[in-house]
Amino acid sequence: MSWNLNGKTAIITGGTKGIGLAISKEFLNLGANLIVIARDEAILDACLHQWHTEGYPVTGIAADIGNKKHHQKILQAVGEKTTSVDILVNNVGDNVPKSFIAYADTEYLNIFNVNLFGAIDMLRLFFPLLSKSSAASVINMASVAGITNVGTGAMYAMCKSAVIQLTKCLAVEWAPYHIRVNAVAPWFTGTDRINRLLQNEALKEYVINHTPLGRIASTEEIANTVAFLAMSRASYITGETIVVDGGFLANQGDVF
C-alpha cells in the first residue's frame, strides 16, 4: 500500500476555502482525481484556474449542497466524470455563535441545513457511486464542539454531535459495501473565519492557554488527517472520530 491517492476519485464539498481548500490541495498533491463542489462560482473558478495551470486533474461544480434544487445538477455533473467515487469529504460548514434563545428560526434552521442536513443529503446522493468502489472512504467534518461545550453555540454543537453519531451508524451499516466512514473533529484552526474570531484577545488567550501544544492548528494539519483516513493505509479504521486539537480535550478532564 502506497502513501498516495493515485487513481482515486475524490469529492470534496466546500473545497475552495479554509480547511476545505487545504484538503483539496493535499488530495491533488497526493494524486487524486478531484471533484470540488463549492457555492461561490467566482472563487471556484479562480481555484480551478490555478490548479489547471499547475497541471492537476480537477473538476469544479458550482452548487449549494444545502439547496435540494441543486442536487440533480451535482449528480449529473459527477456522473459525466466518473461511474464510481472512492472518497467523499463532507466538509461544508458554517456557524453564527449566539445564545440558544437568541437564534431566529431561520438562523438555526440554516445552521442545521449547512452542517447536518447537507451532509446527510450528500451521503444519500453519492451512496450508489461509493458502493461501486472496491474500497471507498467517507470523511465527515465534525468538531470538538460536538464532543464538549466550547461556547460556539448549542445549534452548531448539536449538528456536529449528530455528525459524529451518524459516522458511527453508517460505518456499521455501510461496511458490507466496503465503505469506511470516519470523522475528523478539529479544534480552533487558522481559517479566515476563526482568525477573525481570534482578534478577540481574551478568546485567543483562552484557546492558547487550554491547548497543551500552545498554538492554533493550521488548515494543513487538519487536511493531513483527512488524507490519511482517505488512504488505503487506513483500511482498518472505520466508525472513528479523530480529534485534532493539540491536546485540548486531554486537558479538560473526562469529557467523554
Catalytic residues: 156
| H or E, element range at 59 | strand 58-62
Q: Where are the alpha helices (DSSP H) in the chain?
A: 18-29, 41-53, 71-79, 105-112, 118-130, 154-173, 192-197, 201-209, 219-230
- Give me the DSSP letters along 83-152: S--SEEEE---------GGG--HHHHHHHHIIIIIHHHHHHHHHHHHHTTSSSEEEEEE--GGGTS--SS
Burial class (CB in 10 A: 0-12, 13-18, 19+), 163: buried
**115 and 142 in contact (C-beta within 8 Å)?**
no
* Three cell numbers, residue 163: 455528525
3-state secondary structure of 61: strand
Distance CA(56)–CA(166), nearest Å, equals 33
Distance CA(128)–CA(125), nearest Å, equals 7
Place of cell 472496491: 134
